[in-house]
């Protein structure tokens, strides 16, 4: 586990909301929230967007919100509508709640919470609209236990999207990042239509089209500790078709 960066005031007091979509993450969520709230970021809040998990993740999240009423919020969604819809809902609520910066991260502990202060510092010290915790820039690492087929799929997906969309980001499918609130408002969550993991690509594509600077910093990506991956065949098909849809859907958008 890395040691979190100690940011100077007033940076460490920034109003940062971490949006965490969940579906069957009852075992991982308490560990993630504990690590997030232990960070030297007193302005950090956690917003859990749960898609009515059958394993009781929603109830676990409610208990965490009772224990930390000023720092943990839970959104109970009707059912599993996909990662993209959960993020749109959660990010919209974070912006409405006054967040200056909004982070995205998975609940499965694959993203190191301790990297957030450094990512926030990188955002605040530059003109970037978003900072990505990247697996594929120099210094980035993949867990040795990450399955070979997942490595191949991730590498192929990045190459495929790069070829079609010409977006200069090494980790186009990354799900760990911090956005400036004004960048998110300019992108407009109502524009985003992706349901699954292609949500990440659509957000990066829109940010690029609108002229926002995108900064990648290296992280170590860990294999999930509990539960199973939510990657389905339908998700893979959506992700494969999405670049073609994005070029058509957003062809008139310019920064």
* Residue pair 93/75 in contact by the 8 Å Cβ criterion: yes
Buried b / exposed e along 218-236 (16+ C-beta atoms within 10 A): bbbbbebeebeebeeeebe
**Residue 189 pLDDT > 70:** yes
Q: Look up tokens 């005031």; give the residue.
A: 9
C-alpha–C-alpha distance, residues 252 and 247, integer Å: 9
**Residue 81 pLDDT > 60:** yes
Could you write out the DSSP letters of every residue in 166-235? ----S-TT---EEEEHHHHHHH-GGG----STHHHHHHHHHHHHTT--EEEEE-EEPPPSSS-----HHH
pLDDT band at 111 (very low <50, low <70, confident <90, very high): very high
pLDDT band at 142 (very low <50, low <70, confident <90, very high): confident
Residue 141 is predicted with a pLDDT of: 87
Reference 40, options 64, 72, 67, 4; nearest CA is 4
pLDDT in tens, 123-140: 999 999 999 999 999 999
**Residue 231 pLDDT > 60:** no
What tokens were used for 78?
């009707």
Own/partner pairs, 244-250, CB within 8 angstroms, 24+ separation: 244/164, 246/165, 246/201, 246/202, 246/205, 247/164, 247/165, 249/193, 250/191, 250/205, 250/206, 250/209
Residue 239 is predicted with a pLDDT of: 54
Residue 238 is predicted with a pLDDT of: 57
- Whole-model pTM: value is 0.89
Instruction: Please give the domain boundaries of the chain with CATH numbers for all domains.
Output: 11-250 (3.90.550.10)
Residue 194 is predicted with a pLDDT of: 82
Mean pLDDT score, 155-183: 84
pLDDT in tens, 15-28: 999 999 999 999 99
For 135, residues 6+ apart whose C-beta sits below 8 A from its C-beta are: 141, 142, 154, 171, 174, 219, 221
Mean pLDDT score, 143-158: 70
Residue 203 is predicted with a pLDDT of: 92
CA 171 from centre of chain: 12
Mean pLDDT score, 82-93: 93
Between 77 and 233, name the one with better pLDDT.
77
pLDDT band at 219 (very low <50, low <70, confident <90, very high): very high
Residue 240 is predicted with a pLDDT of: 60
**Residue 65 pLDDT > 80:** yes
Reference 113, options 61, 181, 46; nearest CA is 46
pLDDT, averaged across the chain: 88
Between 156 and 20, name the one with better pLDDT.
20
Residue 80 is predicted with a pLDDT of: 82
Residue 2 is predicted with a pLDDT of: 86
Own/partner pairs, 153-162, CB within 8 angstroms, 24+ separation: 153/236, 157/239, 160/240, 160/243, 161/201, 161/243
């Amino acid at each position: 586990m890395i040691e979190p960066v100690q940011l100077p005031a007033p940076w460490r007091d920034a109003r940062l909301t971490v949006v965490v979509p969940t579906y069957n993450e009852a075992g991982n969520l308490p560990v993630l929230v504990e690590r997030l709230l232990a960070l030297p970021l007193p302005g950090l809040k956690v917003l859990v967007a749960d898609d009515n998990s059958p394993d009781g993740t929603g109830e676990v999240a409610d208990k965490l919100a009772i224990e930390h009423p000023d720092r943990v919020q839970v959104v109970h969604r009707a059912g599993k509508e996909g990662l993209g819809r959960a993020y749109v809902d959660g990010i919209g609520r974070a912006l409405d709640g006054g967040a200056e910066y909004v982070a995205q991260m998975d609940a499965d502990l694959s993203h190191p919470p301790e990297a957030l202060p450094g990512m926030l510092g990188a955002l605040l010290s530059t003109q970037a609209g978003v900072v990505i915790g990247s697996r594929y820039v120099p210094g980035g690492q993949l867990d040795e236990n990450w399955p070979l087929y997942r490595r191949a799929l991730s590498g192929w997906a990045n190459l495929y999207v790069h070829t079609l969309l010409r977006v200069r980001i090494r980790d186009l499918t990354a799900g760990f990042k911090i956005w400036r609130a004004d960048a998110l408002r300019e992108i407009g969550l109502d524009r985003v239509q992706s349901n699954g993991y292609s949500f990440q690509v659509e957000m990066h594509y829109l940010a690029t089209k609108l002229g926002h600077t995108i900064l990648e910093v290296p992280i170590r990506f860990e294999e999930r500790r509990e539960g199973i991956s939510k990657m389905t065949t339908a998700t893979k098909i959506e992700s494969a078709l999405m670049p073609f849809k994005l070029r058509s859907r957003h062809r008139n958008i310019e920064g």
